[in-house]
Amino acid sequence: MREMTLYGVSFEPIGKQPIVLLKTTDDDRFLPIWIGHPEAAAILMRLQGAVPPRPMTHDLLADVVSELQGEIVRVTVTELRENTFHARITIVQDGREVEIDSRPSDAIALAVRCDAQIFAADEVVEESSIEFQGDEDDQASFVTASNLSDLDPEEFRRFIENVTPEEFASSLEYEELEEDPEGEPETDPEDE
């Protein structure tokens, strides 16, 4: 397994589909995973530090696990099968580990709420990652934890509470990423 960090969230230039980008901690390999708009919003909300007035789904699940004396310790992108990424959430409760099947987008949304480690199977990194040595200009198209700190929390909260998926997709400026035509799997975000 390879340890990953959450590099950011962006949108593909043509279809405006959200992409979460994981980066290997030991080199410049990036794993792009196409996700749905609600999951992108859930990840971005947490990165920005926005607290909804009532718990959203991922917040609720994290709270339930915590109340049951469990801890979400890691999430792992385990495989790419039939153009769909699969993941597992590892919970420790009473000294035992429990693994639960998950879509990667939900697993990552939970990981950012619980400060859980993120991993990807070696085969997934080898098969689906891209090597990219970006500079600050390349990073501008990604919404990352560092550039989210510049946003006004109230403005972002109003945006998240009122945005439609179409508005959400068009709210950011996009830069075209260099694509590896043979290495970019097509996925249906609802099937992750």
Query: Which of 128, 79, 88, 82 is closest to 108 using CA atoms?
Result: 88
Q: What is the pLDDT of residue 50?
A: 86
Can you tell me which residue has the tokens 């960090």? 5
How do the domains of the chain map onto residue ranges? Answer: 2-191
Instruction: Give percent of the chain above pLDDT 70.
Output: 68
| Contact by Cβ (8 Å): 128, 183 | yes
* Predicted confidence (pLDDT) at residue 35 exceeds the cutoff of 60: yes
Q: What is the pLDDT of residue 51?
A: 85
Instruction: Look up residue 105 and give its DSSP letter.
Output: H
Q: Please give the single-letter amino acid code of residue 131.
A: E
* Predicted confidence (pLDDT) at residue 118 exceeds the cutoff of 70: yes
Stated as kind and residue range, the H or E segment containing 159 is helix 153-162
Q: What is the pLDDT of residue 158?
A: 53
Coil vs helix vs strand at 57 = helix
C-alpha–C-alpha distance, residues 93 and 72, integer Å: 9
C-alpha–C-alpha distance, residues 38 and 168, integer Å: 10
Structure tokens at 4: 């990953």
Q: For residue 178, name the pLDDT band (cuts at 50, 70, 90).
A: very low
Compute how many other C-beta atoms are within 10 angstroms of the C-beta atom of residue 36: 18
Domain spanning 2-191: which superfamily?
Answer: Bifunctional nuclease domain (3.10.690.10)
Comparison of pLDDT for 151 and 87, the residue scoring more = 87
Average pLDDT of span 31-53? 90
Coil vs helix vs strand at 74 = strand
Q: What is the pLDDT of residue 147?
A: 43
Q: What is the pLDDT of residue 10?
A: 85
Q: Report how far apart, in Å, the C-alpha atoms of 97 and of each of 92, 94, 180 are.
A: 5, 8, 37
Q: In what order do the strands lie in the sheet with 96-102?
A: 96-102, 84-93, 70-81, 117-120, 2-11, 18-24, 29-34, 130-131
